[in-house]
Structure 1
Amino acid sequence: MQKKDKKQNTSQNNQRQEFDAAQWVPKTELGKLVKSGEIKNIDEILGSGKRILEPEIVDSLLKTESELLLIGQAKGKFGGGQRRVFRQTQKKTREGNKPKFATFAVVGDKNGHVGVGYGKSKETVPAREKAFAAAKLNMMVIRRGTGSWEDQSTEPHSIPFAVEGSCGSYRIKLMPAPKGKGLICDKEVAKILDMAGIQNVWSKSTGQTKNKLNVIKATMQALMRLNQVSVSDAHRNRLAIVEGSVAKSAISSQESENVLETAKEDSADKPKKVAKKSDKSTAVKQSADTEVKQDE
């Protein structure tokens, strides 16, 4: 049963919630502007400091993906201790035990936007829906770049500089990593960074790591501090700092040119190497023929 429940949870996480813009009736002024088409980019809202009070605003402006984080723990003799999506608590009353379920959800477009939300209810489905809605309301812009001294890429695949976050006894430090290294961090932290569009990061954590709620909050605090640091134009160009979404074609244009140049250089060098090898082989053959003649 536990394996079946786990498969159902993972399948529900991977499913994207469908949004019908025609049936949406906005209640706020910001929602009406989005519905009328006056606001077409979510960066305009997040940059102005206005609060998003309707999750449908995010659904209409971004193609998001959602996933539930493993904050709970299974109980029982078989399978006890394994991580679960829902964190269950019980209240003792005269009528009996009254359980409640809590969960954390992460929503992002994997291109510079991510949000985390917490939901709690007497049943699992309402708790999950509350978490998804809260994550969309907490959507934020993530600053990305290439801050590793080992990397010379112009694609913003990592973070521009090291940042720290803390919650309770848990402390985490996120550091830029070169391209191809991956997300060297906790699994739940990696889910958040992946939804934000960050592909390579080093991390260092201290404190109590079993409490995943503190881990998630500390990670979001570190990501928020990326936007709080003032950066000069020189560093912005050198570290390829980008805020928000970036078109893939614009990202890879410079790298494609570099790849073509290196390919041309390699193709020009290959015939020279082949010629050197042929000269060596002919010299060896000539020396062998002279030795045979001397023996005769």
Structure 2
Amino acid sequence: QGRPGQGRPGQGRPGQGRPGQRSDDRPRRRREPKPEAPWIPKTILGKKVNSGEITSLEEILEQGGRIQEAGIIKKLLPDLKTEVVDVGIIQKMTSNGQSTRFKAIVAAGNENGYLGIGQGKSKQMRIAIEKANNQALLNVSPIKLGCGSWECRCDKKHSVPFKVRGKGGSVVIEILPAPRGLGLVAGGKIRRLLELAGLKDAYTTAKGSTPTMNSTSKAVLQCLRQTFSQG
């Protein structure tokens, strides 16, 4: 038997944790991300993109093609960045009790004229983000940048070419051209969406329930899509 206060033989001292437990001083091993599987196209459009017959997203839109594979966007826009914009919890009462699901909103953009927003729901947060990421890639649209401000009148692509207006749910957002050097006059999350799209200077006005990020992101994407369709 050991001395009083030392505990039984084979046990650690008080404050040192149990035997076999990882010490706080030891560095923890980080799990390396799994390598992404190579993309195998399944649709006719995907096979054309993979073979090099189609080299731009604008060419697909002009032909009226429908993008059904996220690999098409990754192939045409390799510099695309994805960012989680908002996460939340959905609770629902069922006959078996209360069910909890997670929802995530992800934005994809290359900060040079392309933006897409997607939403995903699942019982696991990781799967919800993966669904939103895939949906954001499928919703990527080209955006026409320019300088529509009468104060600036330069030829550089730093703002929107004209005033655009979009609506998502009860949220109405307007984006107006701004002179170079002003910056983005917008809220935090709206500002980040505009940055991913490639805008550097713009005025924005928002009305409605703007804290609901789902409606706000839809309104922003509808605004920016009009620059390409109307321009």
Bin of the TM-score, shorter chain as denominator length: 0.7 to 0.9
Q: Contact 1:181–1:200 at 8 Å: present in 2 too? A: yes
Partner of 2:214: 213
Partner of 1:163: 164
The letter for the 2-side match of 1:142 is I
Partner of 1:66: 82
4+ aligned runs moved over 6 Å, structure 1: none
Task: Give runs of aligned pairs for residues 49-64 of structure 1, distance below 5 A.
Answer: 49-62=64-77, 63-64=79-80
Partner of 1:42: 57
Q: Tell me, which stretches of 5 or more residues in structure 1 are unaligned? A: 1-16, 71-85, 231-296
TM-score using structure 1 length: 0.63
Task: Give the structure with the larger strand fraction.
Answer: 2
Cα 1:207–1:18 change in 2 (3 A) is: farther
Partner of 1:91: 92
Cα 1:148–1:19 change in 2 (3 A) is: farther
The letter for the 1-side match of 2:74 is D
Percent identity of equivalent pairs: 38
Partner of 1:109: 110
Partner of 2:27: none
The letter for the 2-side match of 1:49 is G
Q: In structure 1, what is the Cα distance between the partners aligned to 2:146 and 2:130?
A: 33
Cα 1:48–1:56 change in 2 (3 A) is: same
Partner of 2:131: 130
Q: Contact 2:115–2:221 at 8 Å: present in 1 too? A: no
The Cα of 1:186 is off from its aligned counterpart by: 2.0
Cα 1:153–1:18 change in 2 (3 A) is: farther
The letter for the 2-side match of 1:92 is M
The Cα of 1:95 is off from its aligned counterpart by: 4.4
One of 10, 18, 24 as aligned partner of 2:39: 24
Aligned length: 198
Q: In structure 2, what is the Cα distance between the partners aligned to 1:131 and 1:95?
A: 28
Task: Give the structure with the larger helix fraction.
Answer: 1
Q: Contact 1:46–1:141 at 8 Å: present in 2 too? A: no
The letter for the 2-side match of 1:25 is I
Cα 1:201–1:19 change in 2 (3 A) is: farther
Q: Tell me, which stretches of 5 or more residues in structure 2 are unaligned? A: 1-33
The Cα of 1:19 is off from its aligned counterpart by: 5.4
Task: Give runs of aligned pairs for residues 137-156 of structure 1, distance below 5 A.
Answer: 137-156=138-157
Q: Contact 1:46–1:140 at 8 Å: present in 2 too? A: no
The Cα of 1:100 is off from its aligned counterpart by: 0.5
Q: Contact 1:117–1:136 at 8 Å: present in 2 too? A: yes
Q: In structure 1, what is the Cα distance between the partners aligned to 2:191 and 2:76?
A: 25
Deviations 1:139-161 (A, max 9, x none): 11101110111113221110011
